[in-house]
Amino acid sequence: MSIIVGCLITFGFAISPLLGWNQYTYEGVGTSCAMDLVGDSNNGESFILALFATYFVMPVSVMIFSYGNIYAKVMKDSKAHLRSNLTKKWCNKAKQCRKKLTMEQDLAVTTTIIIGFFLICYTPFAVLLLWKVLNKDAEIDPITMAIPSMITKVAGIFTPFVYLSRNKVFRKHVLNVYPCFKSKNRVHPFNNIEQTRITTVDVKDETTTHAHSSKKSYDEIQTVF
């Protein structure tokens, strides 16, 4: 449902210039066509403010609210885990609790990175548009307008890479879909372990001990044990 609503909002803003609210014009250095975000014709200022509220203020507010709850949950569990070390009453299965807490902490770090990328990519362009609305007579250099605009347009490609680097389950499914990215030269860290075996042989009431040194792979050692 959220995807459908997002598509409808985007479609509404896309056709608005065709219906008389703002207009389409050359963007930045004049190599692409986009909505007129620097002009004041056809109620351009109200259009810019609507874009600013819909695509910057609202997403940032939702992320702060949602991820703020995640942080509150992580901090609450962290304090409970700290108290459990003293009272031993928080959880009967300490290993599972530590695993859950670690997952929540990883999620908190991931959300922080995502928010950081969003703010880095969208804030310069949003501030530039707001500054233009507040300073109607100000002139913006085309290059100055084009660079933040390009950064904003490529902002969406960073989120999948964040999840790919931070989420093991997501990374596993991606590698299953694209097996060509799997490394073919993976070496197990326990391969080629040198193992010493002590053999005791009884010969005519005499005990002889021999030491045999050999290299075994990790799989062979697992079989022995």
113: closest CA among 159, 151, 164? 159
Q: Where are the domains of the chain?
A: 2-181, 193-224
Residues of the chain with pLDDT under 70: 39-42, 79-97, 183-225
Report the sign of the C-alpha dihedral through residues 105, 109, 112, 118, in that order. negative
The span from the CA of 72 to the CA of 68, in Å, is 6
The string of pLDDT tens digits covering residues 179-210 is 887 766 554 444 444 444 444 445 444 444 44
Using CA atoms in the order 31, 36, 39, 40, what is the torsion angle rounded to 10 degrees? Answer: 170
- Model pLDDT, residue 11: 93
The per-residue pLDDT for 123 is 92
pLDDT (0 to 100) of residue 180: 81
Distance CA 198, CA 3 (A): 66
Q: What is the CATH number of domain 2-181?
A: 1.20.1070.10
In angstroms, the CA 32 to CA 26 distance is 6
The answer to whether 67 touches 74, Cβ cutoff 8 Å, is no
The torsion angles phi and psi of 191, rounded to 5 degrees, stand at -70, 155
Against a cut of 0.85, is the pTM above it?
no
User: Coil, helix or strand for 91?
Assistant: coil
Calpha distance 87→81 (Å, rounded): 10
What's the rounded Cα separation, in Å, for the pair 219 and 225? 10
pLDDT at 192 (0 to 100): 47
pLDDT at residue 91, rounded to an integer? 53
| pLDDT given at position 74 | 75
Cα–Cα distance, 109 to 120 (Å, whole number): 16
Q: What is the CA radius of gyration of the chain?
A: 30
The mean of the pLDDT values for the chain is: 74
**Phi/psi at 113 (nearest 5 deg)?**
-65, -40
